[in-house]
Structure 1
Amino acid sequence: MPEAELLFSETSHYLKPEDVTQLKNAYLFGQGAHSGQFRKSGEPYISHPLAVAGILSKLHLDVPTLTAALLHDVVEDTDISKAEISERFGESVAELVDGVSKLTKIEFQTQEEAQAENFRKMLLAMARDVRVILIKLADRLHNMRTLEAMHPAKQRSIARETLEIYAPIAHRLGLNNIYQELQELGFRYSYPTRYKVLVKATRAARGNRREVVGKILEAINHKLKESGVEAEVSGREKHLYSIYSKMVDKHLSFSEVLDIYGFRVIVKDIPACYVALGMLHSLYKPIPGKFKDYIAIPKSNGYQSLHSTLLGPFGLPIEIQIRTAEMHRIAENGVASHWLYKATDGDFNDLHLKTSQWLQSLLETLSGSTDSLEFLEHLKIDLFPGDVYVFTPQGKILTLPRGSTAVDFAYAVHSDVGNCCVAVKINGENAPLRTQLKSGDRVEIVTAPYANPNPAWLSYVATGRARSHIRYFLKNIQYDESVKLGERMLNQALLFFNINPDLVTEAQWDKLVRDSGVKSKDELMAEMALGKQLPAVVAKRLTAPLESVSNEQAAGPITILGTEGLTVQFAKCCRPIPGDAIVGLIKKDYGLVIHAHDCSVISSNHKNAENYLDVAWGKDISRTFEACIKVTAINKQGVLARIAAEIARAESNIDDIAMEGDGDYTQMRFILQVNNRQHLAQILRSLRHIKEIAKISRVKG
């Protein structure tokens, strides 16, 4: 095949003759294995592995990678085994083929779950050997180039998966050319009509702006030559997906996106980068806030360059990138630019170390995620490029995604620092942990040895690493609490049926565990606490002839102390506090939710009697609870301050306040921290002494 001859010709420029011979043998072996197989387009199947190897040869990858690319589908699609590949081409090639082979078909409840599990496996393989993902990306790129043969619905599905996962992975590894082509093709098949409209619009704009672009190129070349800076200058049109993203993000029409052209200046060394920047800033005025120095602080994927947006002729914004030839090579080829597997251990450069650290953090996220969909969620968060560069107290730079908080920073330093963080100083000043960080911030985390992650952190952390560690910690804590609560709930249900819990035998438990489809008795207890199994139903299945208990022992309520943790929640609709009559409602995936007896939610759910549990407050409750009060006061200066002072004097805290003016009166709603009904009554009595208060009441529901 002509494609095969082209591959051997291109690789002969950088591979040894014996390596090219191995490639020829792999091609013949693959051609024989795929004999009689055809792609949807009608081409012989071997054309696909050949194209994948051709893409990788442009990155000058090593012979095991190219050999594995030629053979990457033989194990899945033919009778050839991994052992056979190992025997003929070596263990390294066999391992790569095994890592890239289409994944074993597993039955999943949803397509999303199957996709998530595939990515989970793919990234595990990638963490073992990054060459696996390089082959996988080349495989996806060729599939995208030939996507026209697929059904439109399948095209959209594959294209969106490409935009969401594969293109960002290519970007994260610094493979700029592959990244941009995957984006363009993903855009073309995800939104075919929008793509065609933009193609037409850019062609029209290109004709109108060609003369302007030519003048800018000439002016830049002249200025740099005049300053004695040797440079290679090129103009480039922005990619369609980049233009489309800008239109969507900033709600612009195409005519409003002026900077569809960029210019790249390649110079001999780093000092020349800054000299060239100064010269261009004297040629055209820089737009304030549009300069980024990725040479001093490289991106996390190793990318280095100076970026500046200038105001060109006719008010046209133009983007300039200035870099050295070495930086340009890394920008185009990323992790493949200094091939990792040609180097000795001592030759690892910063880029490979950063890639290795990122893959290690992926493995940590994997170990903390019990669920494939959860892992995919973390992965998507971490794939999008980081834009915030912050400093540790020792001056080390950490790169975090936009929107990252002090908690994300703590987990980026170390998982133990994140788990134990209690406060933060940003630029020497105390700040809330939810504070979003800005580039240049100096961040110092304060830890306490007995501190634990707070579930509220999940509402504002921005990195998959932080989210994964918090969830992992909370799941373990919640599991232990759930087991204990589930046991109490089942005992109450058994007593309701006049069954003595102590007389349930191990054999009966083993049978129940098997029939319930869980792994252990503890797991069954946890599922009851989380509402996935009903205690009444489980108790009925255990009511084989067992000895009854006396009526005096039967069906005592579950005691609520407020220290049960995440497995017992207090309903926001009625905000029950000690002293209120209460009832427990088992809610799936939430566990036991405590409501006030007169709550409207309880009356609306009265038909599901088996979901209710008899609960009662314990005697020694040491924590505080939320209570809501409504105050109507005359609209006078200083009233709010007097109300707040009385609440503080009654040893309560205000969690939240909402106010609404109505002429001469103001309606105020306070969420207070109280110990019990007596404490709340004391607060209300104190507030009634304020003469400006016209009406005060507790709000339930």
Structure 2
Amino acid sequence: MNLIPADPTLAGPSALAPRPAAKAPGASASGLATSAPSMPPVLPAGVASVSHLADKLADYLSPSDLKKVKEAYRFSDEMHLGQVRRSGEPYISHPIAVAEICADWKLDAQAIMAALLHDVMEDQDVKKDELIERFGAPVASLVDGLSKLEKIEFQSQIEAQAENFRKMLLAMASDVRVILIKLADRLHNMRTLDVMAPAKKRRIASETMEVYVPIAHRLGLNNIYRELQDLSFSHLYPLRYRTLAKAVKAARGNRREVVKKILESVKSTLAIADIEAEVYGREKTLYGIYKKMRGKRLSFSQVLDVYGFRVVVDSFPNCYVALGTLHSLYKPMPGKFKDYIAIRKLNGYQSLHTTLIGPYGTPVEFQIRTQDMHRTAESGVAAHWLYKTGDSNLSDLQQRTHAWLQSLLDIQQQTGDSAEFLEHVKVDLFPDSVYVFTPKSKIIALPRGATAVDFAYSIHTGIGDHTVSVKINNETAPLRTELRNGDIVEIVTDTSSRPSPTWLSFVRTGKARSAIRHHLRTINLPESIVLGRQLLAQALLNLSIAPELPAALVERLLNESSAKSLDELYADIGIGKRMAALVARHLFGLIGGESASAPIDHNSAAELDPVTICGSEGVSVQLAPCCLPIPGDQIIGQLRRDQGLLVHTGDCTLAKRQRAKEPDRWIAVKWGVELNRRFDSRIKLLINNEKGILARVAAEIGESDANITYVGMDEDKEHVLHQLRFTIQVKDRVHLAGLLRNVRRVTGVNRILRERS
């Protein structure tokens, strides 16, 4: 059955010419639309054809489904009447092109309908209820998940973008077709991006490279992944792209004979081994070549493996038989073999990778896989879309993808705002992975650089929260140890243990980061509220505003800051999510002072009355491990996002560098009068290599009323002098000075000093 009706107004490319519009639609960032000009433009070549889409759908959709798609097309065509793209094409050509890409993946009728309708809510103000009535709730939900939140006012473009991504990704978590349609939409927009202004091209290309490319890779959509990469590269660095394209074209001619010779040799060798296989050459993407040149600092002539070969065999065992056959034909390069069949990638990709020394000493990469593996490698989750989650026979790829989508919901529940949610998700989109084992030999895939804490949270949030130590390959290791392929990891837990704020400095996965931040926000909420109230009060006094605010003013402040309560606002200030000086300036504007948006002196935060540090504030206030300040030191405080206040010494070199980068995140702090605790400090000694020296030094430290929490020793090459390092607990700077004098008198101690950052 043909989708195209007898009505000539819906019968092909000529029907797509713009007709006079009853209203002039606005511009659309999604479809790159603009208002209709006074004169209909001449249609350029290549306008998407409804008949071409119909032919694709007729191959796999039933007549009843085709009828529903036809109704969706008619409605979309009517809604976009007179609207044209910036290129001059009628706007309806864009939804048709998006639907064609979805049809290539053989998505169902609901997805095709949503692709045709994906801009009607955003551009034409069609309500969700109307879509439900016309096309059903599933289609309406898909379109809603694809529509931006343009009716909501956001404080910044970044916040608006983050909230739109959050909405789309959460919709994807419940129905993966949302992101498949969105990727098709983005792909067509990237293919037609040439008509945009250079600045907008760079912005859209950067957004594509940063978010959509890794999502396509994470879902195993390698064809889309590679094309989006190259298109983004061409718009971000047009000169580099053209230069590299020209070089590849020249190399293609020079290496034609080599490629032909390798193809003939491989085909004949596999035939002799009685292996049925398709063998074909493939050219690496321009962005892939550019990335290799830049990462390894190579010229184009030094990138020898521009071409590779793919061997698609008929069965799983023949993958390994073909590998052995190829290794007998050409010598393999050591360390260049990867088995992604036994341990597949996170996105379900499976292949054997090997690099061989081909004719004339040229390295040649081969990928060996079955037809099923090839289909999954090219189409990924689109080959087995996951909206039928009730199916008990989910493939391994479906289970992995479903678990990742579910993790998005977990991160959302623990995340404070959209920007933070997007930050966590981006972390999880890195393509490189390491594969480690539980003690029961279960394989866990984690991002490159993941630590033992990331591993613990990947098992379960409760295990991560109660982690106290880890064994890697049966040996105790620090929690911050980066895991390597093949490690066997065992987590030791204690129900009384809680996450440490320092974990945020080394965890890699979004799940671990969001869970730790959620714990710190909830468990330490009272401390954060007290600190935030103190910081805001001092900021207000600095502007001659009484800290006791009228109820009406508080209500206005909460409405404009999106905080639910004053305590939530205080907590946000206490954990560094909001700056007290900025909130105070905003209040100053609300009560009729100078504009709240007026420029703020970056040193204003440091000029407030100092915050008093008593040493017993808990994890909302921490002493920096780089310089370990003690009472008597000049100190300064750094407000870190979602981690509270970090106190450095005034001469800390790390603090000076960070303050130069973010001057508005630093405040003045001072020591309190009553300090009823001991503080860690590091000392370093240069001693003679003689009997009993360590015991004498340790005894003197004990007699000076200090406790030793760590001792280490470095030995010089001549074995004459040793360098001792102690971490000790002292009351204050005076106590430390007395200890240094006492230890300096010990026989065999040549030099002693306090160790700084």
Which whole-Å CA distance do the structure 1 matches of 2:359 and 2:271 have between them?
A: 20
Which whole-Å CA distance do the structure 1 matches of 2:221 and 2:143 have between them?
A: 21
Q: Which of the numbers 736, 744, 753 marks the counterpart of 1:688?
A: 744
Q: Which of the numbers 223, 237, 240 marks the counterpart of 2:269?
A: 223
Contact 2:715 2:721 in 1 (8 A): no
In the other structure, the counterpart of 1:567 is 620
Residues 1:522 and 2:563 are matched in the alignment: no
Which whole-Å CA distance do the structure 1 matches of 2:652 and 2:480 have between them?
A: 34
In the other structure, the counterpart of 1:653 is 709
Residues 1:68 and 2:111 are matched in the alignment: no
Contact 1:8 1:24 in 2 (8 A): no
CA shift in 2, pair 1:441/1:79, >3 Å: closer
**Structure-to-structure mapping, 1:405-420, within 5 angstroms:** 405-420=451-466
Contact 1:586 1:613 in 2 (8 A): no
Shift of 1:366: 2.0
Residues 1:252 and 2:301 are matched in the alignment: no
SS at match of 2:254: helix
Could you tell me the percent identity over the aligned residues? 55
Q: Which of the numbers 199, 202, 207 marks the counterpart of 1:161?
A: 207
CA shift in 2, pair 1:655/1:458, >3 Å: farther
Q: TM-score, normalised by structure 1?
A: 0.85
**Structure-to-structure mapping, 1:21-420, within 5 angstroms:** 21-341=67-387, 345-420=391-466
SS at match of 1:433: coil
Shift of 1:367: 2.0
Q: TM-score, normalised by structure 2?
A: 0.79
CA shift in 2, pair 1:618/1:487, >3 Å: farther
Deviations along 1:498-534, one digit per CA (max 9) or x if unpaired, are xx99xx8xxx764563365464342454467568447
Contact 1:263 1:321 in 2 (8 A): yes
Which whole-Å CA distance do the structure 2 matches of 1:133 and 1:109 have between them?
A: 26
Which whole-Å CA distance do the structure 1 matches of 2:79 and 2:611 have between them?
A: 67
Which whole-Å CA distance do the structure 1 matches of 2:164 and 2:172 have between them?
A: 12
Shift of 1:172: 0.8
Which whole-Å CA distance do the structure 2 matches of 1:162 and 1:599 have between them?
A: 40
Shift of 1:73: 0.9
CA shift in 2, pair 1:626/1:270, >3 Å: same
Aligned amino acid, residue 151 of structure 1: A
Which whole-Å CA distance do the structure 2 matches of 1:94 and 1:598 have between them?
A: 60
RMSD: 3.9
Contact 1:652 1:674 in 2 (8 A): no
**Worse-matched range after superposition: 422-431 or 586-595:** 586-595
In the other structure, the counterpart of 2:601 is none
Q: Which runs of 5+ in 1 are unaligned?
A: 542-556
Aligned amino acid, residue 348 of structure 1: L
Aligned amino acid, residue 522 of structure 1: D
SS at match of 2:274: coil
Q: Which of the numbers 458, 479, 502 marks the counterpart of 1:456?
A: 502
Contact 1:389 1:398 in 2 (8 A): yes
Contact 2:701 2:743 in 1 (8 A): no
Shift of 1:616: 2.7
SS at match of 2:483: coil
CA shift in 2, pair 1:257/1:455, >3 Å: same
CA shift in 2, pair 1:137/1:617, >3 Å: same
Which whole-Å CA distance do the structure 1 matches of 2:633 and 2:459 have between them?
A: 47
Which whole-Å CA distance do the structure 2 matches of 1:257 and 1:597 have between them?
A: 50
Aligned amino acid, residue 525 of structure 2: Y
SS at match of 1:399: strand
Shift of 1:491: 9.8
Deviations along 1:457-498, one digit per CA (max 9) or x if unpaired, are 2222121111111122122234321224456789999999xx
Give the count of matched residue pairs: 666
Deviations along 1:191-220, one digit per CA (max 9) or x if unpaired, are 100000110000111111110011111111
Which whole-Å CA distance do the structure 1 matches of 2:423 and 2:489 have between them?
A: 27
Contact 1:654 1:673 in 2 (8 A): no
Which whole-Å CA distance do the structure 2 matches of 1:491 and 1:637 have between them?
A: 58
CA shift in 2, pair 1:513/1:354, >3 Å: same
Q: Which of the numbers 716, 730, 742 marks the counterpart of 1:674?
A: 730
In the other structure, the counterpart of 1:577 is 630
Which whole-Å CA distance do the structure 1 matches of 2:376 and 2:294 have between them?
A: 30
Contact 2:337 2:355 in 1 (8 A): yes
Which whole-Å CA distance do the structure 1 matches of 2:150 and 2:450 have between them?
A: 37
**Structure-to-structure mapping, 1:449-598, within 5 angstroms:** 449-485=495-531, 510-511=551-552, 513-514=554-555, 516-517=557-558, 519-523=564-568, 525-526=570-571, 529=574, 532-533=579-580, 561-570=614-623, 576-577=629-630, 580=632
Contact 1:406 1:435 in 2 (8 A): yes
CA shift in 2, pair 1:563/1:388, >3 Å: same
Contact 1:655 1:673 in 2 (8 A): no
Contact 2:688 2:749 in 1 (8 A): no
Deviations along 1:251-299, one digit per CA (max 9) or x if unpaired, are 1111111011111111111011111111111111111221111111111
**Worse-matched range after superposition: 50-59 or 460-469:** 460-469
Shift of 1:418: 0.9
Which whole-Å CA distance do the structure 2 matches of 1:408 and 1:591 have between them?
A: 22
Contact 1:8 1:23 in 2 (8 A): no
Shift of 1:113: 2.6
Shift of 1:65: 0.5
Residues 1:439 and 2:485 are matched in the alignment: yes
Contact 2:432 2:448 in 1 (8 A): yes
Q: Which of the numbers 679, 683, 691 marks the counterpart of 1:625?
A: 679
CA shift in 2, pair 1:488/1:102, >3 Å: closer
In the other structure, the counterpart of 1:550 is none
Shift of 1:648: 6.8
CA shift in 2, pair 1:379/1:659, >3 Å: farther
**Worse-matched range after superposition: 338-347 or 385-394:** 338-347
Contact 1:73 1:102 in 2 (8 A): no
Shift of 1:326: 1.1
Which whole-Å CA distance do the structure 2 matches of 1:91 and 1:382 have between them?
A: 31
SS at match of 2:311: strand
Which whole-Å CA distance do the structure 1 matches of 2:640 and 2:530 have between them?
A: 17
Contact 2:277 2:313 in 1 (8 A): yes
Aligned amino acid, residue 469 of structure 2: A
Which whole-Å CA distance do the structure 1 matches of 2:472 and 2:136 have between them?
A: 54
Q: Which runs of 5+ in 2 are unaligned?
A: 1-11, 14-48, 589-609
CA shift in 2, pair 1:442/1:465, >3 Å: same
SS at match of 2:231: helix
Deviations along 1:392-435, one digit per CA (max 9) or x if unpaired, are 11111111111111111111111111111111111111111111
Contact 1:582 1:594 in 2 (8 A): no
Aligned amino acid, residue 508 of structure 2: A
Contact 1:559 1:618 in 2 (8 A): no
